[in-house]
């Protein structure tokens, strides 16, 4: 747009030889003035295409300073009239280039963090982002005519620069505090795994019966599934132990009673009574009675059967306990394997630290430490300021001579364009009037020719009528004469 306003000012079309001569003279005077100002005229060096001055000028057109100034969008021909401002726009171009490099570094960090590793694929968004920021900053700092008189575009450019700075600054802040962020995330992941392990152990206890109750706060996320559990025979063992305990009490009671009877039998049967008739010793009748009593007690209370039954129960209890111990060990092993599998799945989801996780960890670090909070925001504001710097440098430095010249050239180009438009309009109107007059003349000519032809036709018809009348009169006279 600047080149269009300053370099391409079309000369009006030559209406006559005088206008063409004046236009040629004006262009010659302008080119001489430019040559005297910039030092690029024929007098700047010795004639000839191979002169050192011309060679130096050609090499200067492509030097680093000129390329840096190209990043600011200035017109070199117009800037050549105020050569003392070249250093200013060269420095501004360096600021624009530096901002784009910072943006590229920011995108590189963001892309590598998103991918989870350093990859050549991150170069694609890095280069695209750098070129985008470079061209956007170039548009933001490009001199605009009459820019100081319009507050709206200035505020819009500052707002765009501020938003761009915020976007660029965040990945750089994450990169600076990367160590603390990764330590924070690693600690949180370890705590999450520990909580998951605790919940899995709590929500999957060793079942003591076939009807297990899920502990409070345990949803399907923490409940594991098993093929067999120790609780399947736990109820049988509990019932068997209860029956064995009751039988044990009964056996103990019967044994105690039977031992008391046997003690009485032993005490009584030690006494021998001499039979007077035979002279032999024999047991007393009380001894025999007590023996019968003991035998009846064993028979009625089934002490031998109960003892055998109790022994069988104890043997069965021992067998079931052994099976339960083995089943409990298998259950604990299966639970440990299930817990490790769940933990491995959780670790698989925690492979790399994502960008959102880094931002959240940074916010948590800042919220718990006021000093770190201030430091993070200072670094963030620093990068935002660096990204907004080209626009600030441009619009806080005041209006320069180049800006005034650009405004004058732009206003002049607008005026010249308006005059050319008016001239073209007048020419078009004149051509239209000429064409309209030509059409009207053609209409009048055709109308006159038509009227003349009509009159000729009328005259011819009158002549023919008179001839016919004369012929008829002659015929009548001849008839009357005869």
* pLDDT over 80 (residue 186): yes
Give the mean pLDDT of the chain: 76
Say what the pLDDT of residue 443 is.
Answer: 93
Contact between 53 and 39 (Cβ < 8 Å): no
Return the bridge partners of 419, or none. none
Give the model's confidence band at 430: pLDDT under 50 very low, under 70 low, under 90 confident, else very high: very high
User: Considering only 143-157, 351-365, 391-405, 461-475, which range has the smallest mean pLDDT?
Assistant: 143-157
> pLDDT: is 294 or 90 the higher one?
90
* pLDDT over 70 (residue 189): yes
Domain boundary among 313, 348, 383: 348
Would residue 88 count as lying in a domain? no
For 35, the token pair is 């040559």
Distance CA 89, CA 138 (A): 12
State the helix-helix crossing angle for 151-176 and 123-141, rounded to 10 degrees: 150
Distance CA 439, CA 433 (A): 10
Would residue 414 count as lying in a domain? no
Instruction: For residue 12, count CB atoms less than 10 angstroms from its CB and return exposed for 0-12, middle for 13-18, buried for 19 or more.
Output: middle
Distance CA 222, CA 201 (A): 9
Give the model's confidence band at 85: pLDDT under 50 very low, under 70 low, under 90 confident, else very high: confident
Q: Average pLDDT, stretch 380-384?
A: 83
Would residue 391 count as lying in a domain? no
- Compute φ and ψ for 281, nearest 5 degrees: -95, 140
* Count of domains for the chain: 2
For 459, the token pair is 């005259």
Q: Which of 137-151, 374-388, 437-451 holds the top average pLDDT?
A: 437-451
Would residue 241 count as lying in a domain? yes
Distance CA 342, CA 195 (A): 12
Strands (E), 103-207: none
> pLDDT: is 31 or 198 the higher one?
198
Say what the pLDDT of residue 482 is.
Answer: 67
* pLDDT over 60 (residue 126): yes
Would residue 254 count as lying in a domain? yes
Cβ neighbours of residue 203 under 8 Å, at least 6 residues apart?
Answer: 214, 215, 218, 222, 223
Return the bridge partners of 272, or none. 283
Domain boundary among 348, 383, 409: 348
* pLDDT over 90 (residue 321): no
Say what the pLDDT of residue 272 is.
Answer: 67
User: Considering only 28-42, 86-100, 269-283, which range has the smallest mean pLDDT?
Assistant: 28-42
Q: Which residues of 434-454 are buried (b: 16+ CB within 10 A; e: fewer)?
A: eeeeeeeeeeeeeeeeeeeee
User: Considering only 84-98, 274-288, 380-394, which range has the smallest mean pLDDT?
Assistant: 274-288
* pLDDT over 90 (residue 425): yes
Say what the pLDDT of residue 281 is.
Answer: 61
- Compute φ and ψ for 282, nearest 5 degrees: -145, 165
* pLDDT over 60 (residue 14): no
Would residue 222 count as lying in a domain? yes
Say what the pLDDT of residue 436 is.
Answer: 93
Q: Which of 37-41, 169-173, 432-436 holds the top average pLDDT?
A: 432-436
pTM (2 decimals)? Answer: 0.51
For 402, the token pair is 């180049």
3-class secondary-structure state, position 281: strand
Distance CA 259, CA 105 (A): 98
Q: Which residues of 104-129 are buried (b: 16+ CB within 10 A; e: fewer)?
A: bbbbbbbbbbeeeeeeeebeebbeeb
Strands (E), 259-334: 272-274, 281-283
Q: In sequence order, which ranges of 279-302 are alpha helices (DSSP H)?
A: 285-301
Q: Average pLDDT, stretch 466-470?
A: 90
Distance CA 401, CA 88 (A): 12
The full length of the chain comes to: 482
Distance CA 381, CA 197 (A): 42
Say what the pLDDT of residue 462 is.
Answer: 92
Which pairs with CB-CB distance under 8 Å and at least 24 residues apart come from 187-192? 188/361, 189/350, 192/346
Give the model's confidence band at 15: pLDDT under 50 very low, under 70 low, under 90 confident, else very high: very low
Based on the fold, state whether residues 201 and 344 are members of the same structural domain. yes
Q: Average pLDDT, stretch 421-428?
A: 94
Boundaries of domain holding 14: 1-62
264-320 per-position pLDDT tens digit: 777 777 766 666 556 566 667 777 777 777 777 777 777 777 778 888 888 888 887
Give the model's confidence band at 421: pLDDT under 50 very low, under 70 low, under 90 confident, else very high: very high
Cβ neighbours of residue 39 under 8 Å, at least 6 residues apart?
Answer: none
Angle at 45 between CA 43 and CA 47, to 5 degrees: 85
Q: Average pLDDT, stretch 362-382?
A: 84
Domain boundary among 348, 376, 398: 348
Would residue 166 count as lying in a domain? no
Q: Average pLDDT, stretch 193-210?
A: 76
DSSP 400-412: -HHHHHHHHHHHH
Say what the pLDDT of residue 41 is.
Answer: 42
Q: End-to-end CA distance of the chain: give it in Å, rounded.
A: 107
Closest CA to 174 of 101, 111, 254: 111
Would residue 211 count as lying in a domain? yes
Say what the pLDDT of residue 20 is.
Answer: 39
């Amino acid at each position: 747009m600047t080149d269009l306003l300053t370099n391409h000012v079309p000369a009006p079309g030559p209406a006559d030889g005088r206008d063409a001569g004046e236009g040629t003279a004006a262009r010659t005077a302008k080119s001489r003035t430019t040559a005297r100002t910039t030092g690029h005229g024929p007098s700047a060096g010795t004639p000839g295409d191979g002169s050192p001055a011309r060679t130096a000028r050609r090499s200067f057109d492509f030097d680093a300073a000129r390329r840096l100034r190209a990043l600011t969008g200035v017109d070199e021909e117009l800037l050549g009239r105020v050569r003392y401002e070249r250093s200013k726009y060269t420095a501004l171009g360096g600021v624009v280039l530096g901002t784009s490099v910072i943006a590229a570094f920011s995108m590189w960090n963001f892309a590598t963090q998103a991918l989870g590793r350093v990859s050549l694929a991150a170069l694609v968004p890095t280069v695209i982002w750098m070129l985008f920021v470079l061209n956007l900053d170039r548009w933001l700092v490009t001199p605009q005519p009459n820019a100081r008189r319009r507050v709206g575009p200035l505020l819009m450019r500052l707002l765009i620069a501020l938003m761009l700075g915020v976007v660029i600054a965040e990945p750089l802040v994450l990169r600076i505090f990367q160590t603390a962020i990764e330590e924070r995330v690693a600690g949180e992941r370890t705590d999450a795994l520990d909580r998951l392990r605790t919940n899995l152990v709590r929500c999957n206890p060793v079942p003591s019966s076939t009807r297990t109750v899920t502990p409070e706060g345990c949803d399907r996320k923490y409940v594991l599934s098993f093929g067999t559990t120790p609780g399947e025979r736990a109820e049988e063992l509990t019932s068997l132990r209860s029956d064995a305990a009751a039988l044990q009490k009964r056996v103990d009671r019967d044994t105690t009673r039977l031992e008391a009877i046997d003690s009485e039998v032993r005490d009584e049967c030690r006494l021998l009574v001499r039979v007077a008739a035979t002279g032999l010793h024999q047991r007393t009748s009380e001894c025999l009675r007590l023996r019968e009593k003991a035998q009846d007690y064993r028979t009625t209370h089934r002490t031998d059967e109960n003892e055998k039954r109790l022994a069988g129960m104890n043997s069965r209890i021992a067998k079931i306990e052994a099976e339960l111990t083995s089943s409990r060990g298998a259950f604990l092993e299966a639970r440990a394997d299930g817990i490790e599998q769940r933990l491995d799945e959780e670790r698989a989801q925690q492979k790399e630290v994502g960008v959102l996780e880094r931002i959240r960890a940074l916010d948590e670090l800042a919220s718990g430490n006021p000093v770190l909070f201030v430091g993070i925001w200072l670094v963030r504001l620093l990068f935002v300021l660096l990204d907004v710097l080209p626009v600030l440098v441009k619009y806080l430095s005041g209006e320069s001579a180049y800006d005034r010249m650009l405004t004058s050239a732009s206003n002049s180009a607008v005026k010249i364009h308006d005059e050319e438009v008016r001239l073209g309009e007048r020419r078009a109107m004149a051509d239209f009037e000429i064409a309209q007059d030509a059409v009207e003349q053609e209409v009048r000519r055709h109308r006159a020719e038509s009227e003349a032809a009509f009159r000729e036709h009328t005259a011819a018809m009158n002549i023919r009528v008179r001839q016919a009348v004369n012929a008829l009169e002659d015929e009548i006279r001849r008839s009357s004469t005869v």
